[in-house]
Amino acid sequence: MPRPITEQIQGTYFRLRFTVAIIGLLFPVILYFGGRMNHFGLRGSMSAYYWATQNAQCPCGDDPEHSGKCKKIEKNSKEETSCLALPAVTEAGSMRSYFVGLLFAVGAILYANKGYSRREDIFLNIAGVSAWLIALFPMPWTGKLPPLYWVHWVAATIFFLAIASVAAFCSHATVGL
């Protein structure tokens, strides 16, 4: 005998939200342990795992265990000039597929998930599209910044603000249900 439609809808609603929460919680864990399995250490941000490999050093030539951030250098010095002159890291990062795949999965679930209110729906859609933009416009791991470098940072900021807005302004409407 088939389940009642309300039970099916509620089950789907719960599973979508539970799945995106689990992905969000496991995302940094997967990146960290994936990096360890690929013989490199903790990076300075989750975005740094996009480029990270065992052999990819910091653009400034620091050791491979470096977080991916350039060392402190004096403004207008020879070191700054050499750092900015380094080519972009173009080798595919060993965690790149996981990074992009998880972001697209989160984005798809958030975009497909219908909010309880129109405001929640808008926040979820914005967060979903932002997750895709984070994946499509990776943060460069080089001294030189490409023309659209800011898209990643803006999308990540909007993503976190949209998710925080759902939690802060919309969750009270469904907690009792």
**Range with the lowest mean pLDDT among 10-24, 87-101, 125-139, 142-156?**
87-101
The reported pLDDT for the residue numbered 39 is 80
Q: SS3 for 60-92, per residue?
A: CCCCCCCCCCCCCCCCCCHHHHHHHHCCCCCCC
Query: pLDDT tens digits for 35-57?
Result: 888 887 787 778 878 877 776 65
Q: Is the pLDDT of residue 89 over 70?
A: no
The reported pLDDT for the residue numbered 132 is 96
The answer to whether residue 2 is domain-embedded is no
The answer to whether residue 8 is domain-embedded is no
The answer to whether residue 81 is domain-embedded is yes
Q: pTM of the entire structure?
A: 0.73
Number of domains in the chain: 1
Q: Is the pLDDT of residue 122 over 90?
A: yes
The answer to whether residue 10 is domain-embedded is no
Structure token pair of residue 160: 């976190």
Residue 85 belongs to domain spanning: 16-175
In the chain, the amino acid numbered 76 is N
The reported pLDDT for the residue numbered 131 is 96
Q: Is the pLDDT of residue 109 over 90?
A: yes
The answer to whether residue 1 is domain-embedded is no
Q: Is the pLDDT of residue 26 over 90?
A: yes
The reported pLDDT for the residue numbered 158 is 97
The answer to whether residue 9 is domain-embedded is no
The reported pLDDT for the residue numbered 87 is 45
Half-sphere exposure of 24 (CA within 13 A, CB side): 16
